[in-house]
Amino acid sequence: MRALSRTVLYIIVLAAVMAAVLPLVWMVSTSLKPEGQILSYPPRWLPLTPTLENYTSVLRRFAFACLHSSFRCFSSRSRRR
């Protein structure tokens, strides 16, 4: 009886871990897909041709804005002293 309850507990824990990890794996997998493969049917777990294009696109669009606001915040703090 004790072995059965331990097995059931392991199954429940495994299901909880998979429910937490699988969306993260899907998110990373999708981020590595080219734009044409993101909404393909049937969906694939692994991209046919992995690319970092999505990351470079985001960095090009938002990196300067983030740096600008950081420098602005830093410069306003240095003026107060």
Q: What is the pLDDT of residue 67?
A: 66
Q: What tokens were used for 25? A: 């794996």
pTM of the model: 0.62
The band of 44, judged by pLDDT with boundaries at 50, 70 and 90, is confident
65-70-76-80 Cα dihedral, nearest 10 degrees: 170
| Mean pLDDT value of segment 19-32 | 93
Q: Is the pLDDT of residue 49 over 90?
A: no
Q: What are the C-alpha distances in Å from 3 to residues 6, 10, 37?
A: 5, 10, 45
